[in-house]
Structure 1
Amino acid sequence: MTMTRRTWLLVPVLAALAACANTSAPSSSTAGAASATPGSTPAVTPFAAAKPPKLIVFMVVDGLPIRQVLGYRDQLQPDGFKRFLDRGAWFANAYYGHGYTVTAAGHSIMLSGAYPERSGIIGNEWRDPMTGAPQYNTADPRYHYIGNKTEPLAGTSPENYKVETVGDVLRTLQPGSKMIGISGKDRGAILPSGHKGTAYMFMGSSGQFASSTYYMDKHPAWVDAFNAGKPADQFFGKTWAPMLPESAYARSVPDGQPWQANSGNGNKLPAVLGAGMDGPGPRFYGNILPSPFGDELTLAFARAAVEGEQLGADDQTDILSVSLSSHDYINHAFGPESRLSHDHFLHLDAYLQDWFKYLDAKVGRDNYVAVLTADHGFTDTPEWAKSQGRDAGRIVPAQAVGFVNAGLARQFGEGRWVIGMSGTGFIFDEPLIQQRGLKQDEVYEAAKALVVQVDGVQTAFTRAQLAGTDTTTPNLAQMRHSWYPGIAAPLQVIPKPGWMFGSRVMGTTHGSPYENDTHVPLLTWGPKWVGQGRIEQRVEIIDLAPTLSAILHVPAPRQAQGKLLPLPAK
């Protein structure tokens, strides 16, 4: 392989082994207690009692709020999500604790246990707060996709990721272990893979899965064989039809609403992929992910990885991370309240049942641990929420910036003081502030006083607040977890609940510190390791990395901020 590594990630093996010996058997005081059902006797999971599994199957459903999992529970397959809910251990109150809940931030947290305040992955993309230059979370111009075109700012390496992951620690101690990350999105593959794993992502231009030259010079034979079969082409002309009769969708919003995006595959079921096209091509490949078939294709590649890399075939534990991207695309376009989202979830459930059946046969039912979570939840579409009598709406970024600039011009003189938004914050013309002899914090504070007057804005936090010690102001602690000095904008803006930044009057998003966006599934299965039951205790997703480390008998990632999950006893 031809790759570079951050020197600070090279954990001395002897020191790590010593730490492992000291931490592989957590005490009951650190492991915490949990009840499988309310009122039952608390139990502590003896992580060190079981030999580590042969395989950790770590799964992410991009953009899946817990309310959808539980809201459609009565329509689930016997052994998809129900494997977790009926026969695994799962957390009814699992939350993200950071404020800007987007895909890259969520994926950076899961296997590192570290919030963006430590990892530097503050969002999907942002702008340099000093120059305004665009940045992307996994961009690295030194590397390119193998056999596929690499666009500017495409995700090709974990260079910007400032922390280590469970996989990094495992592969430092056991170089023979494998860490494979797969996703429809570059960030969904690269970030969970850490610095020492290998990431493969879907290429919308070719319908292939590809890695980058950060990881290797050329693909292994199994990847070439998978791509040579052109598996994406099999979905051309395939119909996305509802899983259930029309009456089963009474709890969700019908198709074809004016706020539902009517592009790509349209906004009504049934929908035919490739309709109106002559044959498979970049436009068609790009439309696979916003359909159930994006998940089907990703899981097909995951099976190829299990076979090609012989994951779980020996006693050195491997980790397979599979981030399924389709639900996020569908929720963005149609809203989590839609029938299209409802139906996609049911398709996904059926795919999971087949996936588990495969793993049981290939790896062995008693040889792996499965974990499923999400990188964020979702906010209901504002237009639908308003129709239900709720306060909701859209804040047009350009209008908000214009309003603040007009006010700053009155106070400090003419100038484009705010040059735009970066993530969920405002960045400023820093040379202009310096030329006028002004103090940065004075301008930021004045901008805050203005932006909170914009309809739909809840509050804003300045750099001084984010660097301070106030622990009482609502949402401030969450935004601190999302704020990395020198990368994040110096003024962070939070919409009201139900509101979102956006200039298009269709679709919806996520990214707030509120329940809809922070409350996600955290589901585990593996009878030898995680026990069974519903746990009511509130936990955070940062707790997952230390817990998986304990199951693997390795130290937690050094920057991890969580604690062991209170899993019920086996």
Structure 2
Amino acid sequence: MKKLIFLVSVLFVFSQCKTPVAVEKKQENKIQDSLIVVAKKPKLVVGIVVDQMRYDYLTRFWDNFGDDGFKRLVEEGFTCRNNHFNYVPTYTGPGHASVYSGTTPVGHGIISNTWFDKKINKSVYCTEDNSVKSIGIANEAGQMSPKRMMTTSIADQNRLHTQFKGKTIGVALKDRGAILPAGHTANAAYWFYGKDQGKFISSSFYQKELPVWVQQFNASEKADSYLKNWNTLNPIERYTESGQDVSRYEFGFIGEETPSFPYDLKKLSNENSGFDILKTTPFGNNLTTDFALTALEEENLGADDFTDFLCISYSSTDYIGHNFGVNSKEVQDAYIRLDQDISRLLSTLDKKVGKGNYTLFLTSDHGAVQVPSFLADQKIPAGYFDVEAFQKAVTSFLGKEYGVTDLVKNISNNQVFFDYERLAEENINRTDLEKNLAHFILNFSHVSKTITRSALKESEFSTGTFSLIQKGFHQKRSGDVVFMLDPGYIIYPEKGSTHGSALNYDTHAPLLFFGNGIEQGETYQKTEITDIAPTISALLGIAFPNGATGNVLPFVFKKD
């Protein structure tokens, strides 16, 4: 009876067919092929974080780019044009941790590059770890690890999913740019030590010694080859998308009378910390690409069916922005040259891993403000916050209101940290002190907002600046009163650019997806930096990072 029902069912299906069997077979094969494309995981995921890249650098310098770098990513991949950081502070450490963990400092705990540790009463660096040894260098520069990051990264989840068969390598000039993305289970993370060495180093957290290929790369004197003249790649008169070559808004290098092209880096290196001068030139990014491509080859990344991760952070753009400002010729030249690095990377990936075998995303760890003195000259409200005057005012307030001046242990990262022991000794109510001090600070010149620890703990903010502060506030690690500055006002010298605020110039970052499984297109729908990790996790079919709070972006996936 069951056989008869099955036969009738088959005959009914064929009776409904309105196309020849050959066409049906062709359609069936097409469906199967499309299913194979969807089911096929990339052999390699390449994550690129461009340090201090504002979103508008893509559009502002577009006509200067070639066809095979940024333009290829945009025209063949998917662009999220309204992508933002959803927390403050917008610094390098939190940025890299948030991109790869899918959560904000409230979850991963990297609340800044450096912060005041209330337990040990001193400032700590986000990746410092005195329990490990330097590898490749005979000083403390290699005593680094991701131990202060409290959650997993996408790369960690991939390692767990593949039973550690998928590799993870992190590469950057900055230690935090290599370590935090690669996560806790990485095979290795490498960063650049300049000064008199000019080489990539690592930590015993990952391995006992540098692999032979890293030793050979360092011995090749590749870094030394970049101590040469830095002139604009194209004729400088074509750099019409940036300001004057010489301006009072730039620092430049020690030993130069004016911050203007060309720069003799070999000569200048003696007064600018040796090989460290490369960090503040596009050649630092060139060197990063050289090392990343060597890692790709020597570690056989993307060579088998277990997905690998190559985490690349381009740090030089940040150093250049801090030194010369976002409107400088130097920044424009850096992005024109970075475009060539992206092209070189994509070309090598096509050859070594194969087109369609890798997925790449590109974003930033934060943006940057125009130099406030430049903005002020254009009659735009902007300026500088006098931190010393602020600290003196806080001390004076405490003395007048409470009769003691040592109730505050530290003021940093726009946060005030109380001395709880002194509060107990003086029988001062912490909540009352929070409110009174927050009110006083709000009336200080160029402070726009204040909020207390109690308010952040007892309320949930879904929109606005307080929501961004809350997502960047870690109950154990953060302070007791948080304050924000007026738009355009920064704590920085009166030259060069910086970042850290909740304003659009710091939060608006590029987000490009490209390669295996990625649709061609764009969206103006708002996306957030914490969406990257869940989206890549969904593409790979792996568990999300354990603290992830972002959303999957289904519209970036190929519809075939």
Do they fold alike, i.e. is TM over 0.5? yes
Q: Of the two, which has the highest radius of gyration?
A: 2
CA distance in 1, matches of 2:236, 2:557: 39
The yes-or-no answer on 1:270 pairing with 2:262 is yes
Correspondence for 2:353: 363
Whether 1:230 aligns to 2:218 is no
Correspondence for 1:481? 471
Q: Secondary structure at the match of 1:111?
A: helix
Q: Is the 8 A contact 1:102 1:511 kept in 2?
A: yes
Letter in 1 for 2:153: T
Aligned to 2:160: 172
Secondary structure of residue in 2 paired with 1:261: coil
The reply on whether 1:564 has 2:556 as its aligned counterpart is: no
Question: Contact 1:312/1:363 (CA < 8 Å) preserved in 2?
Answer: yes
CA distance in 1, matches of 2:430, 2:251: 41
Match of 1:510 in 2: 499
The equivalent position to 1:298 in structure 2, one of 288, 296, 319, is 288
Contact 1:155 1:187 in 2 (8 A): no
Partner residue of 2:202 out of 199, 211, 216: 211
The residue type equivalent to 2:222 in the other structure is: P
Deviates more, 1:207-216 or 1:446-455: 446-455
Q: In the alignment, is residue 537 of structure 1 matched against residue 525 of structure 2?
A: yes
Q: Is the 8 A contact 1:369 1:529 kept in 2?
A: yes
1:303 Cα deviation (Å)?
0.9
When the two chains are superposed, the root-mean-square deviation of aligned CA atoms in Å is 2.0
Residue 224 of structure 2 aligns to which amino acid in structure 1? D
Measure how far apart 1:155 and its partner are: 5.7
CA contact (8 A) 2:255 2:268 kept: no
Q: Distance in 2 between matches of 1:426 and 1:249?
A: 43
Match of 1:525 in 2: 514
Structure-2 residue corresponding to 1:16: none
State the one-letter code of the partner of 2:420: E
User: Which ranges of structure 2 fall in alignment gaps of 5 or more residues?
Assistant: 1-33
TM-score (norm 1): 0.88
The question of 1:347 aligning with 2:328 is answered: no
CA distance in 1, matches of 2:99, 2:208: 28
Equivalent residues of 1:182, 1:199 under 8 A apart: yes
- SS state at 1:283 partner: coil
User: What amino acid is aligned across from residue 263 of structure 1 in structure 2?
Assistant: F
Matched, 1:466 2:456: yes
Is 1:322 aligned to 2:312, yes or no? Answer: yes
Residue 23 of structure 2 corresponds to: none
Residue among 91, 95, 105 paired with 2:84: 95
Q: Which residue matches 1:8?
A: none
* Deviation of 1:328 (Å): 0.4
Q: 1:498 to 1:277 in 2, by over 3 A?
A: closer
1:184 aligns with 2:173: yes
Is residue 542 of structure 2 the alignment partner of residue 554 of structure 1? yes
Say whether the 8 Å CA contact 2:416–2:480 is kept in structure 1.
yes
Assess if the C-alpha contact under 8 Å between 1:47 and 1:529 holds in 2.
no
Shift of 1:48: 8.7
**Other-structure match for 1:14:** none
Residues 490 and 149 of structure 1: is their aligned pair in 2 closer, same or farther, counting only changes over 3 Å?
A: farther
Q: What pairs up with 1:40-189 in 2 under 5 angstroms?
A: 49-129=38-118, 132-151=121-140, 156-174=144-162, 175-189=164-178
Unaligned runs of 5+ in 1: 1-44
Cα distance between partner residues in 1 of 2:244 and 2:539: 44
Q: Give yes or no for the alignment of 1:373 onto 2:363.
A: yes
Q: What CA deviation, in whole Å up to 9, does each residue of 1:428-475 have, x standing for no partner?
A: 233222211001121122221121222221111110111122437731
For residues 95-133 of structure 1, the C-alpha deviation after alignment (integer angstroms, 9 at most, x for no partner) is 110021000000001111011101110010001235531
Letter in 2 for 1:191: L
Q: 1:265 to 1:337 in 2, by over 3 A?
A: farther
Contact 1:50 1:529 in 2 (8 A): no
Once the two structures are TM-superposed, the CA of residue 262 in structure 1 deviates from its matched residue by 2.8
What SS is found at the alignment partner of 1:134?
strand
Q: Select which of 432, 435, 438 maps to 2:425.
A: 435
**Cα deviation code 1:261-284 (max 9, x no counterpart):** 133585211112122556xx9822
Moved more, 254-263 or 212-221: 254-263
